[in-house]
Structure formats: structure tokens, C-alpha cells
Amino acid sequence: MSKVEIYDKAMCCSTGVCGPQVDPALPKFAADLDWLKSQGHSVVRFNLSQNPAEYANRELVKQMLADEGVECLPLVIVDDRVVSRSEYPSRQNLALWTGTATQPKAGLPMADGGGCCGGNTGCC
């Protein structure tokens, strides 16, 4: 299974889902990370305001911050490779990067070859 690390911008709490103005992407991303955990992946999330030592001790993150500043956050690292920066990725991308299968979207029911009424009824 993959190791997924998220390095967030400074937020008031570990998920950023607090305060008067919640970014709507944050609760969705938190749910996507819970889903990844349920699939057996290791998911670790760091907040710049609460875990600054993690940013300073991780050479890759420290270099990205030196080169690009906090605009590169959030950083998403999967198995020691930066896969996303500056935005929260979709569940589909997280699944792709970790090799996790997602449920196919349900399609609309289709009529059989006999027409819209099913069979040869002559109504259509």
C-alpha cells in the first residue's frame, strides 16, 4: 500500500474545517483521505501552523518551500514523489496515484434491444 503525505498551508485546525469561512474543498478532501485510509493506505497530514518541524525536517518539502514559497502548498506526496501542489486533488487522482480502484459511476438503465417498451409491443 502507498504512503500519502499532505503538507497543508497554515490553518486554524488540522483539517481547516473550522472558523467562519470554510473552503468547500476541505471537507471533500478530508472525506477522500478517509476513503484512502479505508482502502489500507497510510495517510499523514501536516498543518504548517501546528507541525512546522515536519516541514523543516522533510528535505523535499523544505526545498519546495525555498523555491516556490507557501504558494506550493498544499503538497501531496505519494511514496516519496510529489504528485500535486497548490491545490487539493480529486479522489480519482488520489486513486490513480495510489493504484486504488474506484467504483465505476452508475449509468442510466438501458432498454434491451426490443425497443423502449421492452419487447415487440408496437407502442413505440
Identify the CA nearest to 52 among candidates 6, 85, 10, 80: 10
**Count of domains observed in the chain:** 1
Instruction: Flag whether 111 is in a domain.
Output: no
With contact defined as beta carbons under 8 Å apart, do 26 and 65 qualify? no
At residue 111 the predicted structure's pLDDT band, cuts being 50, 70 and 90, is: low
Is the CB of residue 9 less than 8 Å from the CB of residue 19?
no
Domain extent, residue 32, equals 3-98
Q: Hey, what's the cell of 94?
A: 488520489
pTM for this predicted structure:
0.77
pLDDT per residue as tens digits for the range 76-101: 999 999 999 999 999 999 999 999 98
- For residue 114, the model assigns a pLDDT of 53
What digits encode the pLDDT tens for the residues 19-62? 566 677 888 999 999 999 999 999 999 999 999 999 999 999 99
When the pLDDT of each residue in the chain is averaged and rounded to a whole number, the result is: 84
Residue 40 inside a domain? The answer is: yes
